[in-house]
């Protein structure tokens, strides 16, 4: 009973502190998914235009981001960019977190948008061209509306990936959920396991509904068979 009271005491003390961290996690992940989706959408559409040098360039960009761990990308944005001596690349830690996470997100979104556009049957674009639409009009009125609907389920999975990646930001001292937990552990070093389990539960209640939504959306909007890692 005493054990239980002690643990309840910890939960009672730490919850506001951890919720603060969860709020930062939420903010960063929302901003990153927003900018990452914008960039990813543009790159994804450009990729489907199949203009030779541009496509190669985008593929190289994707390989660079998919081939290296997010931790390394974060260190490069946070430590290497400032050494270029360009004033606006001198990020503070929050900006570095958002920039690196947005770039990382964009690599996923680009592939999703591109494969969704490719998944729209070619007859759709041929038909719109044959009724006299320009290529831009065909994209705007026929292809993109159908393609974007198909991106909803994988985008939810990407959002979970983004949330989980924010845990890594604790290494550059962003006060998000994991970092707040580490600070709490410095105050109560006897309860490491309990506090980490508490953080895990917080993450779980944040991510699990989004994963369920993704699964539901797949039955609702259909799957484009893209496999997210």
Which residues would be at the binding site for another protein (CB under 8 A)? 63-64, 66-73, 75-76, 79-80, 83, 115, 160, 163-168, 170-171, 178, 192-193, 196-197, 199-200, 203-204, 207-208, 211, 225-227, 229
- Closest distance to another protein from the beta carbon of 118 (Å): 8
Query: Cβ closer to another protein: 66 or 140?
Result: 66
In 3-state terms, what secondary structure has residue 132? Answer: coil
Do residues 65 and 39 lie in contact, with contact meaning Cβ atoms separated by under 8 Å? no
Query: Cβ closer to another protein: 111 or 128?
Result: 111
Query: Cβ closer to another protein: 8 or 208?
Result: 208
Q: b/e string for 30-51 if b means 16 or more Cβ within 10 A?
A: eebbebbbebbbebbbbbbeee
Q: What is the DSSP string of 18-73?
A: HHHHHHHHHHHHHHHHHHHHHHHHHHHHHHHTT-HHHHHHHHHHHHHHHHS-HHHH
- Closest distance to another protein from the beta carbon of 136 (Å): 26
- Closest distance to another protein from the beta carbon of 137 (Å): 27
Residue 125 and residue 129: Cα distance in Å, rounded? 6
Q: What is the DSSP letter of 88?
A: G
- Closest distance to another protein from the beta carbon of 208 (Å): 4
Residue 113: name the closest of 211, 184, 42 by CA.
42
In 3-state terms, what secondary structure has residue 223? Answer: coil
- Closest distance to another protein from the beta carbon of 9 (Å): 20
- Closest distance to another protein from the beta carbon of 131 (Å): 29
Query: Cβ closer to another protein: 36 or 181?
Result: 181
Query: Cβ closer to another protein: 49 or 76?
Result: 76
Q: What is the DSSP string of 187-219?
A: H-GGGHHHHHHHHHHHHHHHHHHHHHHHHHHHH
Query: Cβ closer to another protein: 74 or 138?
Result: 74
């Amino acid at each position: 009973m005493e054990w239980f009271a002690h643990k309840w005491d910890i939960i009672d003390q730490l919850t506001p502190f951890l919720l603060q961290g969860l709020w930062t996690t939420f903010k960063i992940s929302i901003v990153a998914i927003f900018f990452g989706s914008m960039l990813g959408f543009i790159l994804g559409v450009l990729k489907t235009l199949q203009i030779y040098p541009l496509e190669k360039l985008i593929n190289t960009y994707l390989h660079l981001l998919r081939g290296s761990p997010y931790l390394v990308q974060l260190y490069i944005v946070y430590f290497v960019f400032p050494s270029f001596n360009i004033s606006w690349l001198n990020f503070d830690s929050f900006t570095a977190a958002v920039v690196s996470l947005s770039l990382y997100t964009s690599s996923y979104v680009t592939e999703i948008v591109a494969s969704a556009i490719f998944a729209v049957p070619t007859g759709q674009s041929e038909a719109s061209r044959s009724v006299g639409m320009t290529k831009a009009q065909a994209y705007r009125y026929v292809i993109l509306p159908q393609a974007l609907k198909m991106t909803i389920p994988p985008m939810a999975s990407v959002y979970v990936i983004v949330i989980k990646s924010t845990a890594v930001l604790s290494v550059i001292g962003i006060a998000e959920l994991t970092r707040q937990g580490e600070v709490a552990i410095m105050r109560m070093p006897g309860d490491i396991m309990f506090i980490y389990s508490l953080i895990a539960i917080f993450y779980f209640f944040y991510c699990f509904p989004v994963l369920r939504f993704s699964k539901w959306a797949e039955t609702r909007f259909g799957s484009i068979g893209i496999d997210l890692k």
